[in-house]
């Protein structure tokens, strides 16, 4: 692991379990040696939680800019010096503002290529919308900030990878928002990130059906025939190794998912319910399609257990591990990918 990798970490909602996770994880010296961690948040919030949790020692340094970061310490960039209090376990305007300011500063540094990766801790959407009415989630905000035409929410646990065609939509909205082009775009993003970030050449990708029993030949919906099957044909013409559509229940129940490097689910709960059952507390959320590596723990703010000392930091640990690994793999593969593209362009010119 390269200790010079600068991993930005946003504290998230100060009223949730984010501060507790940070304190628990970065007490461990070997974690601080794996990278140069830069925490965007509130030092006051960290100190309040240290007192509540009766934790005296947290090796840290307050810095103003990323280039001041010190190795083997938690480097803290103060994003909300006006923070007056923390309402542990309760949603509040302060919690939303602290999370918003931290995320905004981290994104700005990432846009200026000051960070190698970004790990985001949980926020409360309602509190965030008091600061940014258009906020839907980290994934959508990051895609807009980096001006990417599309992105993919990808859940990862060891060899289990589940991507989502639609993210945060009501069930009643899923079908009308499902298109051939959307599936094609998401599949290409997944294919590219599997090759570039996970070092899987020619990955095998499965597409789930939308309806029970894959629609039963149109008896329970025609999305499989009119949308998903057409997307599959187009993807195969593009050279991707894709299969489906598979009925979601049997696909996971029969362990068919193990035959593939990744699976694309049509909507949020179709993918995340089996994923969380299989991954437990070790799942990680990855935003594929960004110019920077971004990961996040696979859980929310957990107001109900905030400040009680019982929050499990393992998903955060796995998110940090994965961010470091993806940075390393991407750095190794990007020159090879660029050379392959240059060679492909040269061959095309010769043909012309």
pLDDT tens readout for residues 18-54? 999 999 999 998 999 999 999 999 999 999 999 999 9
- Residue 110 CB-density burial (10 A; 0-12 exposed, 13-18 middle, 19+ buried): buried
Torsion of CA 193, 281, 97, 128, to 10 degrees: 70
Q: Give pLDDT, residue 56.
A: 86
pLDDT tens readout for residues 202-230? 999 999 999 998 867 776 788 999 999 99
Domain 1-148+290-332 = CATH 3.40.718.10: yes
Q: What percent of the chain has pLDDT over 70?
A: 94
Q: Give pLDDT, residue 346.
A: 47
Whether the per-residue pLDDT at 347 is higher than 70: the answer is no
pLDDT tens readout for residues 234-289? 999 999 999 999 999 999 999 999 999 999 999 999 999 999 999 988 999 999 99
- Domain assignments of the chain as residue spans, ordered by start: 1-148+290-332, 150-280
Sheet with 284-288: strands ordered across: 60-63, 74-78, 36-41, 6-10, 117-120, 293-297, 284-288, 152-157, 160-164, 262-265, 204-208, 241-246
CA distance 231 to 228: 5
Instruction: Give the predicted TM-score (pTM) of the model.
Output: 0.90
pLDDT band of residue 349 (cuts 50, 70, 90) is low
Whether the per-residue pLDDT at 1 is higher than 70: the answer is no
Same topology, domains 1-148+290-332 and 150-280? Answer is: yes
Between 348 and 168, the more confident residue is 168
Tell me the mean pLDDT in the region 86-100: 94
Whether the per-residue pLDDT at 339 is higher than 70: the answer is no
pLDDT tens readout for residues 278-332? 998 899 999 999 999 999 998 999 999 999 999 999 999 999 999 999 999 999 9
CA 29, distance to chain mean position in Å, is: 25
CATH number of 150-280: 3.40.718.10
Residue 144 token pair: 């807009």
pLDDT band of residue 4 (cuts 50, 70, 90) is confident
Q: Give pLDDT, residue 103.
A: 96
Q: Give pLDDT, residue 262.
A: 98
């Amino acid at each position: 692991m390269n200790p010079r990798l600068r991993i930005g970490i946003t504290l998230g909602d100060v009223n949730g379990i984010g501060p507790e996770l940070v304190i628990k994880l970065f007490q461990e010296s070997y974690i601080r040696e794996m990278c140069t961690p830069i925490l965007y948040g509130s030092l006051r919030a960290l100190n309040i939680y240290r007192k509540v949790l009766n934790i005296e020692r947290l090796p840290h340094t307050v810095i103003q800019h990323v280039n001041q970061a010190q190795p083997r310490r938690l480097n803290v960039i103060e994003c909300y010096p006006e923070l007056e209090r923390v309402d542990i376990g309760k949603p509040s305007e302060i919690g939303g503002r602290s999370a918003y300011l931290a995320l905004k500063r981290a994104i700005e540094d990432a846009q200026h290529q000051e960070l190698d990766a970004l790990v985001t801790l949980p926020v409360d959407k309602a509190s965030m919308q008091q600061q940014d009415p258009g906020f839907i989630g980290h994934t959508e905000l990051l895609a807009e900030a980096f001006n990417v035409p599309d992105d993919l929410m990808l859940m990862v646990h060891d060899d289990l990878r589940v991507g989502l065609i639609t993210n945060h939509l009501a069930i009643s909205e899923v079908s009308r928002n499902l298109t051939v082009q959307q599936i094609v775009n998401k599949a290409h993003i997944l294919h590219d990130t599997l090759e570039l970030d996970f070092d899987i050449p020619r990955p095998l990708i499965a597409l789930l059906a939308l309806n029970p029993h894959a629609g039963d030949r149109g008896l329970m919906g025609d999305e499989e025939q009119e949308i998903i099957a057409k997307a599959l044909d187009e993807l195969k013409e593009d050279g991707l190794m894709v299969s489906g559509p598979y009925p979601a229940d049997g696909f996971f129940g029969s362990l068919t998912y193990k035959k593939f490097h990744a699976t694309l689910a049509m909507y949020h709960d179709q993918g995340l319910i089996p994923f969380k059952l299989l991954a437990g507390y070790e799942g990680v959320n990855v935003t594929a399609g960004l110019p920077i590596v971004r990961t996040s723990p696979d859980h929310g703010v957990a107001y109900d257990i905030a400040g009680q000392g019982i929050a499990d930091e393992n998903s955060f640990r796995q998110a940090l591990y994965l961010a470091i690994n993806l940075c390393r793999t991407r750095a190794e593969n990007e020159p090879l990918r660029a050379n392959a593209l240059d060679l492909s362009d040269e061959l095309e010119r010769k043909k012309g």
